[in-house]
Amino acid sequence: MKEQHSVMWGIDDTAKQLGPISQLRVGPFGHVVVIADLNETEALLTRRHSSLERDSSSISIFRTIIPGALLTLKTNEVWKHHRRIIGPAMTSKYLTLTMPKAYDSVGQLIELWKAKGDICGDRSWSAGSDLEGATMDAICGMAFGHPWGVIRQYTHLVRAMDRQRLPVGPLGAIDFKLVAPDLAESTWRIFTSIPLRGPFPRISHFVTRLSASYRRQARLVDQFLDRKLIEARQKAKLLGADSANETADNTLDMMVARELRGEDWMTDEEMKQELFQYLLAGTETSSTTLSWWCKFMTNHPEVQRKLRAHLYERLPDVQNGTPSFEELNAANTPYLEAVVHETLRLARTAGGVSREVKHDMFILGKLVPKGTQLVLPTSIGCEDLSSPVSAPLHTDDEKSRGYKNPQASFWAGPTDAENFPRKVGFWKAGTGLQFDPERWMDQDGKFDIHAGPSMPFSLGQRGCFGKNLAMLELRVFVSQLNVAFFFAPIPESQNIFDRVETVTSHPIYSYIRPVPWSTVEAQGDT
């Protein structure tokens, strides 16, 4: 199978060779401890989370651009205060009100891909930048009430192109070089300035900030946020506090309404940083996951066809792009939920979860000193009955202190599993790296979240704050793109599953060839 891609991180190799707890040297100055055991990972993130903190290295990296946002705050009173203020943006009430923004964005993406298809014929193109633009438009709409018009501008540029002079990339795909609006380009510049490599991120980013172009782009984004804050406060005062709170259909209006009611408040700088984090996280993670989804669909026509039939059966308004928040749930559209969760499981958009030990503690029978960075790889989602993600513990002493899972052929190591039995099942032997949404369906055709291991959003107190937003965005985009297009096969030279690690784990190549469902390819008559 094409999706049996290479191991993502050195941490995966370390676990395979050294077991469920191992140590990996990182650079010349430090090391991390890798925990590759499902039960122990769950225990650490949910029941032992008070002994852990967000790791200092991640905080240092992201503090270069958002020093006062949730992502870079320790788990203290300030963090809790911020979470209380922005928390309502993740409730079903506000997500329901912001859904039209997501539908507008995916609708514009569909028009862009139709325009590209008209001039590309049977040739493919890369989906990555299109998905980044569409998810950014969606998140901007949800955050500020209006998108930045990235996809609208792309579509205008594509329709103005000469189809006889389209640039062709090295692998034979059409190489669209499209320019986004200034705000979007400036935001991406700030995203990509995050110093992910090197031991001194603050110094590295300080040098980056010295450039005139970076200062100009950062100033443009900051001025936009200042302007939106002023506009939101003026609007809230005109409506009155209670009315503003009831009608808020974007995150900024909701935060300002709460401020006006005296419920809670942040400084302007804190509000701007939380909004920028919302924009960064919602764009980067969702666009990357959707890029992987496109690749999986290209290689699984049977899944595409089944998903389309399922959506037509369960969602009467799906062709109009208007299914409600309640209709797009696991109970009503279980196969859609299965496709989304299977994409998250195999995409591994986040390669792992990092935490820092707050005091000396025992983990899997080993003493881990205070200050140690733990890495909990998401490869546990690929574990099946025949393929453990970590090597067995070897010594008789370790075995005597561990537990033997009756359904697996490996020692998972000493945990509190007897007191807290495993919540999820095991994937069928030999299937851990296969794309198969059916694994999430029970015998009654319902979606089963506990069918097997997967940890795309982490767990516990510091789990992904935007999980509900991400799931809504993925359900909207996947359902609408599936109804609009069949992702036809592409040349083998372009059908590559290699990855590159940035803030998330991107596919290096995300070529697609979306065609109408009326074509022979889509109908499966070839």
Given this model, what pLDDT does residue 172 score?
93
Domains within the chain, CATH numbers bracketed: 1-56+371-463 (no CATH), 86-350+464-523 (1.10.630.10)
Cβ neighbours around 516 below 10 Å, total: 12
User: Which residues does the annotation place in the binding site?
Assistant: 464
466: which 2 tokens? Answer: 């935007």
Residue 131 has pLDDT above 60, yes or no: yes
Strand 30-35, strand 373-377: pairing: parallel
Which band of pLDDT confidence, cut at 50, 70 and 90, is reported for residue 199? low
Give, in order, the Cα–Cα distances in Å from 407 to each of 385, 404, 427.
7, 9, 11
In this structure, the chain runs to a length of 526
pTM of the model: 0.91
153: which 2 tokens? Answer: 């501008």
**Which residues neighbour 402 within 8 Å (Cβ) at sequence distance 6 or greater?**
365, 393, 411, 412, 413, 414, 415
Average pLDDT over residues 146-172: 94
User: Which residues does the annotation place in the binding site for heme?
Assistant: 464
Given this model, what pLDDT does residue 31 score?
83
Q: Do 98 and 141 form a contact (C-beta atoms < 8 A)?
A: yes
Give, in order, the Cα–Cα distances in Å from 164 to each of 117, 167, 171.
14, 9, 19
Residue 3 has pLDDT above 50, yes or no: no
pLDDT tens readout for residues 37-85: 999 999 999 999 999 999 888 888 888 888 889 988 999 999 999 999 8
Given this model, what pLDDT does residue 413 score?
43
Given this model, what pLDDT does residue 2 score?
41
463: which 2 tokens? Answer: 């789990």
- Nearest partner of 449 among 473, 465, 469, 467, judged by Cα: 467
pLDDT tens readout for residues 102-118: 999 999 999 999 999 99
Which band of pLDDT confidence, cut at 50, 70 and 90, is reported for residue 10? low
